Structure 1
Amino acid sequence: MASANLRAELECSVCLNIYTDPVMLRCGHNFCRICINRVLDTQGGSGGYSCPECREKFQDRPALHRNITLCNIMENFLSAQPDQESGVFCTHCVDYPVPAVRSCLHCEVSLCDKHLRVHKKSPEHILIDPILSVESRKCSVHKKILEYYCTEDDLCICMSCYTIGEHQGHQVEMLDEASGKKKKKLRNVLQKLLTKREEMEERVQSLQEHRRKEKAAGDTERVTALFRDLRRRLEDLEKRVLREISGRAERISISIRDLEIKKEELSRKIRHIEELCNMMDPLTVLQESDTGDLCDTEDGDNEDRERHEELLHDVGGLDVAGISHTLHTGLSEIITGVNVSFYIQEAADILLDVNTAHNKLHISDDRKTSSRSDRNQNHPVTPERFKDYVQVLSSQSFSSGRHYWEVDVGGSGRWGVGMCYPSIDRSGDQTGIGRNKKSWGLVKNGNQCWVRHDSKEILLPTNISSNRVRIYLDYEARRISFYDLCDPIRHLHTFTTTFTEPLHAGIWVGGGCIKICGGSR
């Protein structure tokens, strides 16, 4: 019942059908745009205009304002009707609404199956899927049907626009032809977007799997337990050091008490001897001086001096050697415990292979620094030597495990670092690090940085802010990662792939020098 009442409110009083593009007069009544235009057209020669419903007079032809609220209500109502998919009804069926199957742009009507069979089939009668408003299919300037597409201005136009209007002489296409081309482009874009979405889904699944593995491995609990144990061990070490300091203070106190007692004993002897020296009776003096050890004042002097020197040393400051030994021993035990729980990895000892170095690369004696030179270095001819790109590989290769190496790039404004297969070509335009399928690189040129593999480049959003870069390889996890060693350390990019050969470190020097950090020969 409520739906029927709402439907009655949404019917145009002229055509008695659901509103099509409803517009409102100044009096507040609503009509289909087509219906009210036809009514106003018939009133044009009568000297005035009036509302078909309330008969309010208008001296001039009233302006038609689209009733947006009513349009929204109507569209929501029609979308809720299960058996009327298009929401467009036959214009000729006035007794009750019949869903339209086609709309004629020429006649500006919508037709059901019955009325479509008797409709004229001449070419000017263009039939399309049912639409609510024909006005949207007309040129806003010439009020004619939009039949063409101007490829120069990317606009749909009518015949008059093409023959006498502002699009005269432009390249145009029929709407169907232009639509077909547009759909082809859209399908290509759609395919790319679908592929990109699949890649993102794979990344999400990979990260989710990684998160599940980390959770299953209990890394958070292990780290929490490790730091709890570290705090306990450090507290124990602190107590040991403080006990040693307290013991030193206690020894000082005991020494002071012993010296005070001996000082009192000396004072007693001094008073007694002074009394003897003041006596006038020789017999008493001789008898008293034979008793005790009044004259034995040097006994224990050496021992007292040693204790005094030790006391001065204790008072002079902290027992650096003893405390240092305690700290070193305790901290070594703590580091050993940490290494048992979490392996602390050290940088790989990378050495450059002179046999691979381009003839414009000077390799230092310790094989850690590569410098670009304008002079030919006259390296011996070897099949491994790079001929076109000024780069060099490491002598070490990695075929398993986790490894990292670091480079100081502060001496060069143009450089590239990464990992390469030993089978990488040594001559040609595609032999640079990252310019082929056999290498992965991080490259900087001026203020721009990017990562590169198989000549595909990804520009990094920010520049490298420090002079040191870390390259991290996890062979089993199929990852090569790059880091900017600023504070805090910043991850730049990670390549993920399946490795089929051992990997060598690689360096390209566009100018200046690059130095490998860490490690020892």
Structure 2
Amino acid sequence: MASAALGEELKCSICLYFYADPVTMRCCGHNFCRVCIDHVLNTQDLESRVYSCPGCSIKFQERPALQKNVTLGNMVEKFLSTHRDGAVISCTYCVDSPVPAVRSCLLCEASLCDKHLRVHSKSPEHVLNDPSTSLEKRKCSVHKEFLKYYCTKDAICICMSCRLDGKHRGHRVEILAKASENKKKKLRNVLEKLVTKREKTEVRVRSVEERRRKSQEKASGEAERVTALFIDIRRRLDDLEKRILREISRQEEKLSLSSSDVIQRLEIKKEELSRKMRHIEELCNMADPLTVLQDPDTGDLCDPEVERGDEDIEENGVGDQDLGQISRISHSLADIIRGVALYVQDPADTLLDVNTAGNNLLISDDLKTATWTETCQNHRQTAKRFLNYHQVMSRRGYISGRHYWDVEMSKLGVCRVGMCYPSIDREGDKSVIGDNTKSWCLFGGQGYDNQCSVKHNNNQIRLPHQISSNRVRICLDYEAGQLSFYELCDPIRHLHTFTATFTEPLHAALWVCGGSIKILGRSSYEEP
């Protein structure tokens, strides 16, 4: 009973088996198998990042430290060596009542309790060992002698006769204790490597879990952003629908009132004409010519101005609906859809390439802002650097897909934003974006009274209206050959679209004088 109780104390409360590589939680003193408690703590780290002891449920903010319990491990090892299938190894000579054995004699192949051990032979050939039921395994199956040596060539334990006269004669051998220590040394080296690999694996697991957590957070944030975006789109569409319907109703009411007035005037005119017709018919039926010729009401019947007056009533009294106004309002719908609804954010960002920046440009540490400065920066000369102008390109170019990026231009100075091929000239008059066949841009600023233009191959198109916002969106549809510019106002407004057949990667490009330009982000979009 005592042995059974001890066996229960030597079992892990998680797996319910005997401790394997037992460790102690320093915070509360409870013991567990290392693999079992690591699995529990990893699960808690993944689910809530709040740790607790499975034995006492005490909670900890940080992952509790584990210390190997050597004493407990030795107890388990010794207990298991004296038991088989959970049964206590009893003394061979206590036949009346089983008494637990404390040692086993290899020569006698018997297990001994304390009482019988005291009277047992002390001669050297009687080799004593921990209690075991497998004493026959400690003797040579051929010579029935004790196994004393280890043949390194055949990797087997042998007896004295095997070494001197048997098939292992002449082989290199070691005594069992030395061979065991050599093997333990190798096993410890393997164990150290396995521990190192396991630690590296744990680090990788935590790294992957952290990336997964960040990815989930980013996906959640992106879902919220897209949800808010479409809520805003629906709000804009509802407002636009109401504006158009109000305009149609207003014009319909105006047209109805105008039509009623014209109809009333025409009815009066019709009565007047009917009266004249009756009078003329009466004159036509008269026989007296003098009466017909001297009638005072027929003097202006053939006057052409009367006919024109009738036409004026019809043409000027009733007009058509102002479809142009409705069309202009409806055009906002296209701007909302083209400028906002088709976009889904991409995690990649547009970053400026410092190696291309002109010497009068300061590039921010986050590679997002280009600022003009009068002081020459004396950048290191590279083949990609713009030499004559304060201009910079993005690191990455796009050879396919649909992309957009937003910029915020300072209210001071003059700015150009657009895209260019990497083969654009790096010096000379043709190196400025918009002034050659390899770039497209939108430009404006303080010197242009907020009147913007677009430019390609030095051909300038002046936009018909001023822009009120200093934020602009540049959209690229590479396969469709379209590069579009939008003003980021409410609602978003389409400014211009270039159409071309792109033949090289397209990089974002900035040119600034007397101010700064900040990149707000870069994204990709898909069809809804």
- TM-score, with normalisation over the residues of structure 1? 0.38
Larger strand proportion, structure 1 or 2?
Answer: 2
Which structure is richer in relative contact order (CA contacts within 8 A, separation 6 or more)?
2
